[in-house]
Structure 1
Amino acid sequence: MKLTRLKTSERGTFGKIQLPSGAVLSTLELPWLNNQRQISCIPASIYQCNIVNSPKFGRVYQVKDVPNRSHILIHAGNWTKDTQGCILVGMSNNDTQLFESRKALNLLMNELNGQSFKLEVIEAYE
């Protein structure tokens, strides 16, 4: 799967992720701050994603082998305050937030059905 980052500012890094079915979800990450833990998005690269049981978020995907980082998850959330470096998913977004995040996460989880996948994070800023 591919996550394409489209816009970044102090409000966050917005993008889209296309599921195998062709459905497109909006994404929100923190701004790029040199991959600093808990305050930056992760570097653009290709990552392995596996299902985990998070004490806080339940059954979600973890983005593995991020340099100098751990516990990077794909989970529900609407604002950058809802993440400490993870990838949030929503059905749509505006310039500050995601909408229908739980619906988007349920769509992703149901479609992937616990199967591991590779996530390619690319930057295509406007």
Structure 2
Amino acid sequence: MVLVLNRTYFPEGTQGVLEWNGTIVCYTIELPWLGNQKWISCIPEGEYILQKRFSPKFKWHLHLMNVPRRDLILIHPANDARKELMGCIAPVTKHTEIGKGSNSRKALEKLKTMVYAALERKEEIKISIQSKKEIV
């Protein structure tokens, strides 16, 4: 299973559309692209393996493995990238502004349902992060 995240970059943040087999699963928000700097930039485009992860703060969520020069890049709930993310990806049900969205927990539950079911079937799950268009 390969999820495709098509990004659009803006100075204030990064907007995304997450799809599986051409169907939109949810939208995403991230920090702006700032050269993959820890805590202030979104991660580089590429393909990453997804795994289940639990933490007391986020409960069950997703972990992107082997991100260059970065650790603990997660997919977890957040509705404001600048205030709630440090390089991670937040699923949202819709974009409300650049780097902001709504109903993140609901979007994460929808995504987890799909991904966790595939993991139960012993499938490898990947996310392919791509640019929808050039930096604005």
TM-score scaled by length of structure 2: 0.85
* Structure 1 runs, 4 residues or longer, greater than 3 Å off: none
Which residue of 104, 109, 121 corresponds with 2:107? 104
Residues in 1 aligned to 2:62 and 2:109: alpha-carbon distance in whole angstroms: 12
CA contact (8 A) 2:48 2:66 kept: yes
Which residue of 119, 122, 126 corresponds with 2:127? 119
Which residue matches 1:76? 77
Which residue matches 1:29? 30
Alignment map for 1:39-54 (pairs within 5 Å):
39-54=40-55
TM-score scaled by length of structure 1: 0.91
Letter in 2 for 1:123: S
Residues in 1 aligned to 2:21 and 2:85: alpha-carbon distance in whole angstroms: 25
Change over 3 Å in CA distance of 1:21–1:57 after alignment to 2: farther
Which residue matches 1:15? 16
**Alignment RMSD (CA, Å):** 1.6
Shift of 1:21: 8.5
Letter in 1 for 2:103: E
Which residue matches 1:89? 91
Moved more, 42-51 or 88-97: 88-97
Residues in 2 aligned to 1:55 and 1:84: alpha-carbon distance in whole angstroms: 17
Residues in 2 aligned to 1:21 and 1:57: alpha-carbon distance in whole angstroms: 28
Letter in 2 for 1:106: E
Shift of 1:17: 0.3
Spell out, residue by residue over 1:68-95, the C-alpha distance to the aligned partner (whole angstroms, 9 max, x if none): 1000000111001110000000111122
CA contact (8 A) 1:14 1:29 kept: yes
Letter in 2 for 1:49: L
Letter in 1 for 2:106: K
CA contact (8 A) 2:28 2:89 kept: yes
